[in-house]
Amino acid sequence: MVEANGSTASRLAQLGLTIPDPLPPFGEYVPAVRSGNQLWVGGHFGTRPDGSIWTGKVGSDVSMDEAQEAAKSAALHLLATVHAELGSLDEVAQIVRVYAVVNSTPDFLGQTTVIDAASAVFVGVFGERGRHARLAVGVAALPGDLVLEIEAVVEVVDRGATPQAGSGA
């Protein structure tokens, strides 16, 4: 488990939430890319308490409650990646945007309700800094039959100009 610090640690404790260890990439990509004061965090999925991955289609073999648990877990995994990249969740200035896809049946229309569980994690941990723009959509399938995936753009606290790799500085 990731050791949180600062004000986010107290919020996590109040919420009874624990940041898991970051998930490794499952392909030829990195979990996050920093560009200036933004951290672009790739797709994250949810895991059950036993560590197994939430799979299935919402509206047929996955209930709304289960999908919301998967979304909450995916948000915590995303925060684990943010923590690993920044060294502290206190470096988050703002969750700017969340994009979420839900593996759902054509007649399921509750994608936003599912993803509200992830959004609630961000707001719970960061307060107003956790409020974000969002798109939540349903899709016919996801790799590995994942229930959902979420990604985010995070603004990082500006600690002054630091030379970027390859900038010649």
Helix or strand or coil: residue 54?
A: coil
- The arithmetic mean of pLDDT across residues 22-31, rounded, is 91
Which DSSP category does 91 fall into?
G
Instruction: Report the side by side order of strands in the sheet with 92-103.
Output: 32-35, 38-44, 148-156, 92-103, 133-139
- The stretches of the chain forming alpha helices (DSSP H) are 6-15, 64-86, 111-126
Kindly list the domain boundaries of the chain, sorted by start residue: 30-156
Tell me the Ramachandran region of residue 73: left when phi exceeds 0, alpha when psi lies from -120 to 50, beta otherwise. alpha
Query: Pick the residue with more confidence: 140 or 168?
Result: 140
For residue 7, the model assigns a pLDDT of 85
**Selection from 123, 20, 118, 136 nearest residue 69 by Cα:** 118
Reported as a single tens digit per residue, the pLDDT across 101-156 is: 999 999 999 999 999 999 999 999 999 999 999 999 999 999 999 999 999 999 99
- The arithmetic mean of pLDDT across residues 152-166, rounded, is 75
Q: Please tell me the distance from the alpha carbon of residue 132 to that of residue 124, in angstroms, as a whole number.
A: 12
Q: Which has the minimum average pLDDT: 24-28, 91-95, 130-134, 157-161?
A: 157-161
Q: Please tell me the distance from the alpha carbon of residue 133 to that of residue 33, in angstroms, as a whole number.
A: 19
pLDDT-above-90 percentage for the chain? 83
Q: How confident is the model at residue 3 (pLDDT cuts 50, 70, 90)?
A: low
30-156, what's its fold?
60s Ribosomal Protein L30; Chain: A; (3.30.1330)
